[in-house]
A and B are shown apart, each in its own frame.
Chain A
Amino acid sequence: MTDGERELSSAPAPADDGRVPSGPPVVEATGIVKRFGPTVALNGARITVRPGETHALVGRNGAGKSTLVSVLTGLQAPDAGTVTFGGRPAPRLTDRDAWRQSVACVYQKSTIIPTLTVAENLFLNRHDRTPTRLISWQGVRHRAQDLLSTWSVNVDPQTLAGDLTVEQRQFVEIARALSFGARFIILDEPTAQLDGAAINRLFDRIRDLQQQGVTFLFISHHLQEVYEICDTVTVFRDARHIVTAPVADLPRTELVAAMTGEAAAALREQRVSSLDSNVRAALSVRSLSSDGAYRDVTFQVGAGEIVGLAGAAGSGRTELAETVVGLRAADQGEVEIAGKRPRPGSVPGALAAGAGFVPQDRHHQGFVPDMSIADNATLSVPRRLGRHGFISGRRRDRLADGMIENLAIKTPGPELPVSGLSGGNQQKVVMARALADDPRLLVLINPTAGVDVRSKEFLLGKVEETAETGTGVLIASDELDDLRMCDRILVMFQGRVTTEIARGWHDHDLVAAMEGVDLDV
């Protein structure tokens, strides 16, 4: 527990904005050890969260964050160590009710039942009853309405939970947690699937609830968010506690250093544009329109050029990028990839024309979880694996080995199922598939969502490398870090390309353009 540890302050100083912590810590875990077979997931880890604060827990994939969450929420018993809530020892593992009154967690994976209504999800297994012991649906509905309006969640309790947006679902889950009496809520990467505007709404909500005495433990890959919303930050690395400090006292570079265990790399070098204007454009889109998504979009991506497609959710950027690779068909206009015009709405057509792409949601469209890395990475290039539709296992594994090495995927071998990889490495597999056929055009949609800092750097570096070989790149994202290396950025707002920003922009310029705000006025 001592080696490599660097204590900034033995007890975190209170945040200096008037929310002076009082009373015992909301939760205190000390000396937590958890082993899974030979793997040590937590090695003497500890965390102390004080009432009323928003506490960030950061660390790279595999640092032990998820295991700590399952210990703190009573899903797993630690092999050693103690957990206390407000000074009292944690309840027994089987006493779910007691746990629910102490702590709640909003996981990345939904714990909502999609086929039931919001009201029923809120009061599952504790419905209102009529005197005849039957469920009173009216009572359930009213109580749900009350609960949602108490915490100002603007959702119709009769909606099917499966129809909620990610954002609404999170609010509903937070409201449900509060209804059990818990005033300590763990948010596990809540922003991973949200766009900029929704993240802001979530943060507003967190601040509101904080005012009302709710304490948060916030887990995120985005350090910027930690600085924006959190008072205190705890860093885990390699199953150990590294540091706990007030956010204000820990500069960015030190935080990254604590996470990675090495001095932070200097700012990314400005890349030299690799645009080759002598070669035919990698992509040209002419007056493309699709009802309700985007209108009259025209642009080109040159060979070797990296073009960003920025915009808030609902701006049409994702739909536009999906149209380019054939996941959707446009109503009007045409898409030309490296001089060929694939049949609209045909993914095989787009791939044949020379496109490679990383889809928006890797879990949904990116890979088949139980298939091996080799199978997933080569899914789109069967003809390179053998003749007449037969697949040569040897050739596939050789190809996959090359990809694993090229993308530095951490795995014991190509036969491991993708579901066994961490988020960052899963995304690398998706990227490997996109690059499998040496595309002329690479389309990336939110390529670094839910990916740890190091893998993110790596993936973006790979994109640059690919552009240098003369491939045109289109990145549709609202993540500023994804867009930094772009030669130029097209900003979409309400279905139209409104602004084109050349390299050298400031964050606020781009954000303002995405939100449709004009800073000059």
Chain B
Amino acid sequence: MSETVLADTSDAPAPDATAPTAKRPALLGGRIPLARLRDLALVPAIVVIAVVGQIVNPIFLQADNLINVLQTMSEIALLVLAQTMVLIVKKMDLSLESTMGLAPGVAAWLVVPAGTGHGLGLLPGAWAVPVTLLVGVLVGVLNALLIIRFGLNGFIVTLGMLIVLRGILTGISGGQTFFQLPQSMLYPGTAEWAGVPASIWICLILFAVAVVVLGWTSFGRSLYAIGGNVDAAKAAGIRTDRVLWIVIVTGSLLAALAGLLLSGRLASVASAQGNGYIFTVFAAAVIGGISLNGGKGTMFGAFTGILLLFMIQNVLTLAGVPAQWIGALNGLIILVALTISRITGGKVQE
């Protein structure tokens, strides 16, 4: 993926650009300005963690372990992908984590045969995946309707939605876990394509697509324009509301897909599925260089952000740190990472 990013030029916004008209520092004969390297800011950290991990426990760099890391992060990485798009247009979507639970939850509720747990058995198993994705789209449409059409504050709307959706899932499941999912729901989370779990493929491919869309299409650039200065974007002829609709609905759809992958991998839908993920998602995005003020940051940066967090977590586990302490350490890592990026980035994070 890094090749895609480096292949062309220099357009991307970066916080550490040099003074105007001054000759910009650049590498490789001017092909890659230094500013572009902000995207790669976390790469050295990832390398360091890899080395440390290998020293701590030689298992770390083995293919099985790396695939394990990628697979555990694949679902949450899709949330990061969704949130990054939403953040770039200067909105927030807190409800992603609940969508991730509710979408497969509703599908399981309708599909799982009656008599076992809370299933209704109304639909045949093949409907599970379409229903999951449909629920994701519906949640997105509802969010977009409230935020864009009615002009409500996105943070509060999605906070309310987060609670409502979680409540609905708890309601339909009776607080229990759905088991006996149909084969179609298990497939994306369990299948292997070319020896690598399908969820990893899906995650990587979607990130690659997102990198290209955000970097090299008018639609993608309009996201940055809207987040940077929505009036200027309108003046440039961008249909800002339409772009915002697409971003919010796509974000929810991706969350539903993430939920599908997770349910498939765990072969169940717990009523707490996705609960608390949103904090990790925000942390990964911000560490990856996405500005909460909109208009700044790249998809590749966001990917390195979530990758770094999961690698550190894996190293801690391999080092035998008690599971009870991982939470505290995770929070600490986020704070340290932000401090470091403030020092290296040199700018106050808004």
Contacts and interface: CB of A to CB of B under 8 A. Distances in A.
Interface string A114-126: 1111011100111
A127 B33 CA distance: 20
A510 B14 CA distance: 42
Contacts of B295: 113-116
A498 interface: no
A163 B19 contact: yes
Interface string A121-139: 1001111000001110110
Interface stretch (A19-27, A152-160, A302-310, A448-456): A152-160
B11 A140 contact: yes
B217 A154 contact: no
A97 interface: yes
B218 A125 contact: yes
B21 A159 contact: yes
Interface in B258-297: 291, 294-296
Contacts of B237: 96-97, 100, 125-126
A112 B221 contact: no
A494 to B, nearest CB: 19
Task: Count chain B CB atoms within 10 A of each CB in A110, A124, A141 and give the residue with the most.
Answer: A124
A149 interface: no
Contacts of A114: 228-229, 295
B112 to A, nearest CB: 43
A134 B217 contact: yes
Nearest to B228: A113
B21 A116 contact: no
B256 interface: no
B177 to A, nearest CB: 44
B217 A110 contact: no
A114 B20 CA distance: 13
Interface in A146-197: 154-156, 158-160, 163-165, 168
Contacts of B231: 109, 111
A71 to B, nearest CB: 16
Chain B interface secondary structure, helix, strand, loop or mixed? loop
A140 B237 CA distance: 18
B216 interface: yes
A382 B290 CA distance: 38
A12 to B, nearest CB: 30
A128 to B, nearest CB: 11
Nearest to B226: A113
A402 to B, nearest CB: 37
Given A120-B221, A135-B221, A115 B10 contact: no
B24 interface: yes
Interface residues of A, number: 36
A115 B228 contact: yes
Contacts of B217: 133-135
B197 interface: no
A110 B294 CA distance: 17
Contacts of A120: 11, 221
A133 B219 CA distance: 11
B11 A125 contact: no
Nearest to A154: B21
Interface in A354-391: none
Contacts, number: 110
Contacts of A155: 20-21
Contacts of A115: 13, 224, 227-228, 291, 294-296
A137 B33 CA distance: 13
B33 to A, nearest CB: 6
- How many B residues touch the partner, as a band? 35 or more
Contact of B229 (A110, A133, A159, A160): A110
B233 interface: yes
A335 B31 CA distance: 49
A137 B10 contact: yes
Contact of B20 (A134, A135, A140, A163): A163
A135 B216 contact: yes
Interface string B204-229: 00000000100111100110110111
A116 B9 contact: no
A174 to B, nearest CB: 15
Contacts of B146: none
Contacts of B232: 110-113, 121, 124
A155 B232 CA distance: 20
B289 to A, nearest CB: 12
Interface string B28-42: 000001010000000
Given A124-B233, A125-B236, A159 B227 contact: no
Given A154-B21, A155-B20, A125 B224 contact: no
Contacts of A154: 21
Nearest to A161: B228
Q: Which of A100, A114, A119: most chain B CB closer than 10 A?
A: A114
A159 B221 contact: no
A164 B231 CA distance: 19
A238 B11 CA distance: 47
B218 A113 contact: no
B145 interface: no
A357 B21 CA distance: 34
A126 to B, nearest CB: 8
A57 to B, nearest CB: 21
A164 B18 CA distance: 10
Given A113-B224, A114-B228, A125 B21 contact: no
B225 A119 contact: no
Contact of B233 (A110, A113, A133): A113
Contacts of B21: 154-156, 159, 168
A154 B233 CA distance: 24
Nearest to B22: A156
B192 interface: no
Contact of A163 (B17, B215, B291): B17
Contacts of A100: 237
Contacts of B238: 124-125
A112 B225 CA distance: 9
Contact of A135 (B10, B33, B218): B218
A115 B19 CA distance: 14
Contacts of A160: 13-14, 17, 35
Nearest to B213: A134
A153 to B, nearest CB: 10
A399 B246 CA distance: 51
Contacts of A138: 8-9
Interface string B236-248: 1110000000000
Contacts of A117: 10-11, 13
Contacts of A109: 231
Nearest to B231: A111
B24 A156 contact: yes
B235 interface: yes
A117 B231 CA distance: 17
Nearest to A113: B228
A54 B228 CA distance: 33
A62 B296 CA distance: 37
Q: Which 9 A-B pairs have the closest CB atoms?
A: A113-B228, A115-B295, A134-B216, A137-B9, A115-B228, A115-B13, A111-B232, A124-B236, A160-B17
10 contacts: A100-B237, A112-B229, A115-B296, A116-B224, A121-B232, A138-B9, A159-B17, A159-B24, A160-B14, A163-B18
Given A115-B227, A125-B222, A159-B20, 19 more contacts: A96-B235, A97-B237, A111-B235, A113-B233, A114-B229, A115-B224, A115-B291, A115-B294, A115-B295, A116-B228, A124-B221, A124-B222, A125-B233, A137-B9, A137-B216, A140-B11, A156-B20, A156-B22, A165-B20
Interface of A: 96-97, 100, 109-117, 119-121, 124-127, 133-135, 137-138, 140-141, 154-156, 158-160, 163-165, 168
